[in-house]
Amino acid sequence: MRSTSPEDDESAASAHNVSDRHAAVRAANRSETAEDYVEAIDDLLNDRGEARVKHLAAMFGVSHVTVSRTVDRLQRDGLVITEPYRSIDLTPEGRVMARAARDRHGAVLAFLTALGVPPEVAEEDAEGIEHHVSPDTLAAFARFVDENRAASPGREAVEPPDARPADTGPTDAGPRRAGPDRFARVRAAHAAELTEDYVEAIGDLIALNGKARVVDLARRFGVSHVTVSRTIGRLQRDGYVVTSPYRPVELTDSGRALAATSRARHAVVLKFLLGIGVPPRAAEIDAEGVEHHVSEATLELFKKRTP
């Protein structure tokens, strides 16, 4: 049996760590829809007194069919109650989730504002970042806000929208910015996320092993070979990779440029999180998701604030 070298062990450990980070991002993306919907329903109930499919379709910029399917899933998961021709209501579990999502959004927004991000940009960035921050990172954000307040005592602090406990029933805070534009940039970020992660992974594998194969990518992302093959097919159609049967995957000039940009952005986010005191493991995992939801304005402020 072939013994493994230190380089083999390091490569396997690196692949395992990357797989864990991507698994955390996928889990956050799966929960994001539920969190956004229960919060939107809570906003509508507080603002309009009712939440209907047509209201949610307008808020998210999607079809009534898409909303109906999502609401059905939320009902199966015990987060909402709905009947034909009646307003959608939240269960106690749904209200708890809405409260947690709103509080987390408020904490991220307070941090971005303390960082100096313009208000409109901070609101857009917070909408995506909030789903990819662990308790460790939220704690670091809170420390940053407190330190900034202490350094600038005349500056008004930004507080979360409502401070009532999560288990007291529906919230009474007003809704955040409504309309499909509220979620448009988050959807665009998700559309680009997979492409960026794959071209970066392919570039890393080529640099490490001299080649990138489907089996390597499947192991790195923790998904099936079929899933990788479908993604590679789309990347090839989009001009980022070239590949043929039984041959490794190669990046085009466009793919290499995108990989370099994605890698640089990830490095900035990771260095910043470490710099504000996020533990290394949490910083690595959170940076994997946060990097896709930071605007150029926020990224520049991350660079300026990083030692």
Number of domains in the chain: 1
Do the beta carbons of residue 75 and residue 81 sit within 8 Å? yes
The pLDDT of 72-101, averaged and rounded, is 95
Within a domain: residue 29?
Answer: yes
Within a domain: residue 32?
Answer: yes
The pLDDT of 192-201, averaged and rounded, is 89
Within a domain: residue 4?
Answer: no
Task: Round to whole Å and give the CA distance between 135 and 141.
Answer: 10
The total of other beta-carbon atoms located within 10 Å of residue 115's CB is 21
Angle at 157 between CA 155 and CA 163, to 5 degrees: 165
The proportion of the chain whose per-residue pLDDT surpasses 90, expressed as a percent, equals 64
Domain that holds residue 41: 15-93
pTM (2 d.p.): 0.76
pLDDT value of position 169: 42
Within a domain: residue 290?
Answer: no
From the CA atom positions of the chain, what is the Rg in Å? 21
Within a domain: residue 170?
Answer: no
**Beta-strand pair 80-81/241-242:** unpaired
Within a domain: residue 33?
Answer: yes
pLDDT of residue 77 exceeding 60, the answer is yes
- For residue range 148-158, list pLDDT tens digits in order: 887 765 555 44
pLDDT value of position 149: 85
Domain CATH number, residue 51: 1.10.10.10
- For residue range 29-64, list pLDDT tens digits in order: 567 889 989 999 999 999 999 999 999 999 888 899
Burial 54-79 (b: 16+ CB within 10 A, else e): ebbbebbebeeeebeebbeebbeeeb
The pLDDT of 92-107, averaged and rounded, is 94
Work out the pLDDT band at 136, boundaries 50, 70, 90. very high
Q: Which amino acid is at 261?
A: T
What mean pLDDT, rounded, does the chain reach?
A: 83
Within a domain: residue 239?
Answer: no
Burial 211-239 (b: 16+ CB within 10 A, else e): ebbbebbbbbbbbeeeebeebbeebbeee
Within a domain: residue 154?
Answer: no
Task: Round to whole Å and give the CA distance between 221 and 194.
Answer: 11
pLDDT of residue 184 exceeding 60, the answer is yes
